[in-house]
Structure 1
């Protein structure tokens, strides 16, 4: 894996060189990628930039009496754009990988890479071994949460998040490949015809109202996609349980015992 500044620019990132920011982190950073609306393919002009990744705590932080800082978070302003960096310690991140957690896999496999290492590539290569049929539950639940938010606020953003989650889940169940980019998914999975218009509208305002959406029609579309996800999960050839525990355990031990995190 490598940092592609041209790809980051095409995704609408306001800054593509985050080396100075990452240099200030107290622990080595294994990787940092872009998540959120930029990854999903519908950032607005005022979208925050969500950066996610993994840091590596020294062994003494985990064996001593003090509580380790397993999750670190920073928020700063870059020319009027809010930047948000959240990283987990490698062990915590791998434990999340071993659960049916699509969110961390999206971070790991995001093509929008702002910092990477050889260990990032090694970790990404192990991702297929943790993908299971149960990841459908993650996307079903996330879609449900976002739909309820849309019903409460009437905003376009949670509606697009609802459709994105359902289409990602369906595609994952059918192919075993994780695709989080909604415009790409429209060419892979049968989707409501209104989605290109909704994506275009979202680029204008991060928290704009979904004035162009017919609520009952959207509800039928969401219900239909839930049914498709159920069918895709039932027919999926993915495993019931992850198979990558031993390889991931070995990777964490190697890194913790001193393997350097380098580009």
Structure 2
């Protein structure tokens, strides 16, 4: 036999509370009612507090309206504090895309892996553009990967297509997913300069003076230790990189400092970018 659903405890409590409120309203003496309304309405002007000889209904109307105001004010304050808390503690972005990409690298075909890699990279670009208040098409972002000499020759043979580092015997693969053009000489020099800096995350607004090109501000994040994976943002106007946006980006992109340490992932990313993008 089908059981009848039990009554909701909250619903029953609410009904009993309303009934008790009306009983209390009817039975409370006028003198006590006046004291109660004065206590509840004390933050307001005395002009809106009903007098001792006012009708009971007027007292209760004032009490109900003031309680409603307190509830709305409290909810608004809680919502405001909650928004500030969320603003103060940015979240890491693209967590679902990262998880799907890592799962694919471990167990999927190349086609599926490529699909997850490009989805992650595009979603990261899109979210980063929103973070800096820009349209995706206006964001100048560069994905930077490093290839060893053997890995490079596997894809390009002996031709010097990439940016060669004689000291480390490595090549840089620099890709802009939003623009099919190759990185400029200025952008290549900025990236190489960035890779010599000690911090894996940093910002600089002197690149216009130092490199005498079109870009004015620069943000960069790369993995710890031996370089393998990096991400650069270049801005051709001042003011896009604020302290708050920079802090948000540093927290949101912090996992990039670890993804570059996953050899299996970076090898698949290099393979996909070289075959499908470059």
More helix by share: 2
Query: Would the TM-score normalized by the shorter structure come out above 0.5?
Result: no
Quick check: which has more Rg, 1 or 2? Answer: 2
* TM-score, normalised with respect to structure 2: 0.25
Question: Higher relative contact order by CA 8 Å / sep ≥ 6: 1 or 2?
Answer: 1
* TM-score, normalised with respect to structure 1: 0.26
